[in-house]
């Protein structure tokens, strides 16, 4: 296969173009500028920051406090060890894990043998399918509304049990991102009490805003080694591929769509895919998040067939994103691919440019994009679109306090839509998650939120730089950063994180990046 590809006309033509580019004046100028930037004082400072260890975190008061707590739990657990060894559920679990069915099956062995933590990691990867099954297939409304909180509680209890009953004392996990997340959670709690005309709604809005941030902390403590993080990574790619295939199937059969998914003056599209998600915009954002992760697997170890499978998964997700006809998702995908190309493989820039040119030749795609520049779109946006909603949001922001906001759960998000208690204005989604944070939490909330996101990006860049000699891990971290960056861009036009699984997956990816970049002590390649 390699020889066929190496001697094919397309590959030789691309290599010729690349060699011309490397020998050109522009390429030499860019290399000279890059060298000058790296050797400058600011450049050396940035490189030093990216390469630095998290010594401050390791010596922090918080880490010492958690170390003391873990010691107390471990000492308490030593008294319970005899009873735990004789516990019937534990013996049943060990017997099932060592059964012939599990040992002789490669899939079951990979899932069950590492222990309960691997099952919890698998359940997290299947967050979206589980949520869909409970809500839409089984129609278990009460269970569907509470299962995610129960999932978090079970994970917390498991982690506490592992610290109490574990044979060894567990070291605390403190990362460079902890303080930024804790800052936003703390600011949100303060605003919940400061601006709460209806405390129940404020609490619900706060819960919806911060609850799934907890998965960052939980997953970091679930992971025991690199294999756990890589397992979650690959399972998320599998979930994304399955949803992409379903979306492509919907496009082939031209699944019916509601009329309000496009304006009356816009040229009609054939269909817009949404898979099990129900929203083309959210499905597009999920593809933006996961497609770079799939592409990164092509830069790891393994056979040509495995790498080809990774590219197939990537292209399936890209096509599924295209068929959502979500302009915000297209923007996010372009940004994600651009960042991935800059971090991993600059040859992909040619592919990105070619794909964009071909996409613009598709009539439906061209019409969706060109409609943005028409007077009809501007008028529709002013009357009932994003511009009108953002204008109302700005008025409500200044009605109470620009610093503290209008109040959590009161306008612009799912909580407000479910609790329409005000009659003096109409309720809408703001279709801009940052605007929603600003309106409900004021500039105090928005600044703390942006600090959290910026710290996440910087931490991911540090992780990539620290693992630059381990190309598979660096590529995986780059893929996750690219996907997160694309979703953050899409949040400018949609309330992406109103969907619990999107926020959970986003901060789960952040946890994987931090673990692989800072906490994993294994130096070997990905299995």
pLDDT tier for residue 180 given thresholds of 50, 70 and 90: very high
Residue 158 within any structural domain of the chain = no
The span from the CA of 163 to the CA of 153, in Å, is 16
User: Is 80 exceeded by the pLDDT of residue 340?
Assistant: yes
pLDDT tier for residue 448 given thresholds of 50, 70 and 90: very high
Residue 491 within any structural domain of the chain = yes
386: Cβ contacts below 8 Å, ≥ 6 apart: 430, 431, 432, 493
Cα diameter, the chain: 76
The span from the CA of 418 to the CA of 409, in Å, is 9
Q: Rounded mean pLDDT of 290-309?
A: 92
Residue 420 within any structural domain of the chain = no
Q: Quick one: tokens of 412?
A: 């612009």
Q: Rounded mean pLDDT of 498-518?
A: 96
Q: Rounded mean pLDDT of 449-462?
A: 97
User: Is 50 exceeded by the pLDDT of residue 13?
Assistant: yes
- Number of domains making up the chain: 2
pLDDT at 44: 58
Residue 387 within any structural domain of the chain = no
User: Is 90 exceeded by the pLDDT of residue 202?
Assistant: yes
Residues 350-403 pLDDT 10s: 888 888 888 888 888 888 888 777 777 777 666 667 788 888 899 999 888 899
Host domain of residue 328: 204-376+439-519
pLDDT tier for residue 2 given thresholds of 50, 70 and 90: very low
Nearest to 72 by CA among 163, 152, 153: 163
Residue 350 within any structural domain of the chain = yes
- Of 22-26, 177-181, 462-466, the poorest mean pLDDT is in 22-26
The span from the CA of 228 to the CA of 230, in Å, is 6
pLDDT tier for residue 9 given thresholds of 50, 70 and 90: low
**Percent of the chain scoring above 70 in pLDDT:** 74
DSSP string, 288-331: HHHHHHHHHGGGSSS-HHHHHHHHHHHHHHHHHHHHHT-HHHHH
User: Is 80 exceeded by the pLDDT of residue 141?
Assistant: yes
User: Is 60 exceeded by the pLDDT of residue 24?
Assistant: no
pLDDT at 104: 65
Residues 30-82 pLDDT 10s: 566 656 655 666 655 555 555 555 554 555 666 667 666 767 666 666 666 66
Residues 396-446 pLDDT 10s: 998 888 999 999 999 988 899 988 888 777 788 888 999 999 999 999 999
**Bigger pLDDT: 45 vs 473:** 473
pLDDT at 31: 62
**Bigger pLDDT: 98 vs 362:** 362
Classify the C-alpha dihedral 413-417-420-422 as positive or negative: positive
- 3-class DSSP string for 368-431: HHHHHHCHHHHHHHHHCCHHHHHHHHHHHHHHHCCCCCCCCCCCECHHHHHCCCCCCCCCCECC
Residue 241 within any structural domain of the chain = yes
Average pLDDT value for the chain? 84
Nearest to 281 by CA among 335, 249, 328: 328
Rg, Å, the chain Cα set: 25
- 3-class DSSP string for 167-234: CCCCCCCCCCCHHHHHHHHHHHHHHHHHCCCCHHHHHHHHHHHHHHHHHHHHHHHHCCCHHHHHHHHH
User: Is 90 exceeded by the pLDDT of residue 109?
Assistant: no
Residues 230-260 pLDDT 10s: 999 999 999 999 999 999 999 999 998 887 7
Residue 221 within any structural domain of the chain = yes
Residue 412 within any structural domain of the chain = no
The span from the CA of 89 to the CA of 86, in Å, is 9
Q: Quick one: tokens of 428?
A: 């809408």
pLDDT at 58: 55
Nearest to 314 by CA among 283, 279, 288: 288
User: Where do we find the tokens 């059964």?
Assistant: 99
Q: Rounded mean pLDDT of 124-134?
A: 97
């Amino acid at each position: 296969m390699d020889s066929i590809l190496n001697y094919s006309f397309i590959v030789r033509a691309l290599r010729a173009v690349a060699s011309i580019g490397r020998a050109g004046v522009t390429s030499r100028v860019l290399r000279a500028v890059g060298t000058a930037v790296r050797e400058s004082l600011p450049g050396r400072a940035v490189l030093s920051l990216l390469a630095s260890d998290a010594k401050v975190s390791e010596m922090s008061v918080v880490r010492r406090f958690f170390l003391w707590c873990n010691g107390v739990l471990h000492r308490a657990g030593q008294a319970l060890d005899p009873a735990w060894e004789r516990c019937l559920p534990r013996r049943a679990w060990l017997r099932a894990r060592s059964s012939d069915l599990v040992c002789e099956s490669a899939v079951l062995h990979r899932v069950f043998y590492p222990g309960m933590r691997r099952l919890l990691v698998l359940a997290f990867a299947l967050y979206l399918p589980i949520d869909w099954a409970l809500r839409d297939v089984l129609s278990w409304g009460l269970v569907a509304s509470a299962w995610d909180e129960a999932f978090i509680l079970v994970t917390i209890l498991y982690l506490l049990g592992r610290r109490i009953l574990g044979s060894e004392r567990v070291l605390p996990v403190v990362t460079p991102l902890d303080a930024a997340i804790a800052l936003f959670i703390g600011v949100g709690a303060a605003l919940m009490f400061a601006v709460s005309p209806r405390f129940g709604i404020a609490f619900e809005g706060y819960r919806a805003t911060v609850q799934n941030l907890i998965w960052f902390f939980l997953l970091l403590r679930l992971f025991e080694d690199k294999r756990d993080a890589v397992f979650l990574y690959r399972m998320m790619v599998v979930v994304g591929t399955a949803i992409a295939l379903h979306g492509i199937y919907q496009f082939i059969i031209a699944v019916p769509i509601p009329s309000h998914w496009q304006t009356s003056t816009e040229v009609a599209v054939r269909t817009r895919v949404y898979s099990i998600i129900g929203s083309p915009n959210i499905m597009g954002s999920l593809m933006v998040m996961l497609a770079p992760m799939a592409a990164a697997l092509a830069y790891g170890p393994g056979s040509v067939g495995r790498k080809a499978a990774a590219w197939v998964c990537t292209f399936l997700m890209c096509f599924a994103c295209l068929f959502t006809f979500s302009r915000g998702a297209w923007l996010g995908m372009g940004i994600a691919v651009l960042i991935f190309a800059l971090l991993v493989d600059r040859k992909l820039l040619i592919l990105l440019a070619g794909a964009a040119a071909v996409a613009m030749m598709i009539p439906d795609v061209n019409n969706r994009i060109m409609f943005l520049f028409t007077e009809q779109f501007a008028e529709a946006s002013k009357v009932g679109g994003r511009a009108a909603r953002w204008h109302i949001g700005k008025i409500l922001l200044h009605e109470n306090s620009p610093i503290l906001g209008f109040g959590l759960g009161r306008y612009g998000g799912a909580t407000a839509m479910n609790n329409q208690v005000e009659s003096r204005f109409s309720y809408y989604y703001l279709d801009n998650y940052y605007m929603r944070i600003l309106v409900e939490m004021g500039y105090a909330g928005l600044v703390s939120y942006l600090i959290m996101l910026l710290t996440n990006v910087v931490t991911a860049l540090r992780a990539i730089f620290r693992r630059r000699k381990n190309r598979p891990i660096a590529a995986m971290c780059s893929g996750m950063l690219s996907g997160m960056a694309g979703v953050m861009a899409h949040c400018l036009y949609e309330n992406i994180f109103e969907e619990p699984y999107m926020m959970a997956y986003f901060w789960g990816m952040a946890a994987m990046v931090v673990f692989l970049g800072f906490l994993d002590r294994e130096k070997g390649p990905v299995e």
